Structure 1
């Protein structure tokens, strides 16, 4: 009788050990798989809609420059809360690309040195965001946008210029803006509109073109 109980006990232990081994196999299998790039799961467009107040442009961690598009940089103070970071997903036009931003702002700030390449007729005012063609702002489509950590690109529909920014190239952004306009369109009439700061409630608005 005792030997029968011992035999059954050993058999049960073997089955339990086998079950435990099988349970551990998936863990070992997944642990040995190469880790996927965590940056592939980052979407810089998250938060660019109303009340999110984030910007989608390229920046390095703790970088001094955050190159990103601004969809409306001249709105009045009480109309600018959705544009606190310069970019609002629902806007149909881009006013320019400026060099300083921060996400999650409670109020519009920064937006320094806004640059917008121009071809054909030179315009010194951004125009009405609801009336494309009334100024130097240009229409764009989200279908042409591509954003990933450290990279942003968009096609400006009115001129056909493809605007690209990368975190490692931000210091060359101003020169590249003008160079792209000259190289891809009419060299004799290429210009870049410039402004400093967005949200007219703070600071002084400066304009220049070259």
Structure 2
């Protein structure tokens, strides 16, 4: 996966086939191993969950090798990879970042967010469902997500990166004045003085 490699996750076909051949993972018609987690403290492997609703893909969930509680990650693998790429290569390389919560009365928060982001010159690198928003332009990147299978309640955690605090504040201001969205920032990195 090149620069997009996850430090402790192995998505290679060789590793996946070896896990099944060595019976480290037992075949299950509901779950297909797609990422082997080598962290021994929290070996939550990535699986496709074929029982979950799908949009041209399958839901990505984490669990222990042979069962246990599910920790849903993303509605699709493409959303997970695109979200991770934007976080790693764009948001985390920006000089100023903030994290918080977007909320509105509409359970489909992205239907409120999309028009404003497009009017501000943002594009989406991939098409996403209602639980994952990915937006970018030269000077700023916004990613937001909500856990799959949770009821859509009109709120999503967000991370926003930009060239400076002014760009981020202006963007958050436009989001809240040009839509029914509310934005609550929990943390600025670096901290604002």
Same-fold call, TM > 0.5? no
Q: TM-score, normalised by structure 1?
A: 0.23
- The structure with the largest strand share of the pair is 2
Q: TM-score, normalised by structure 2?
A: 0.25
In our comparison, the structure showing a higher alpha carbon Rg is: 1
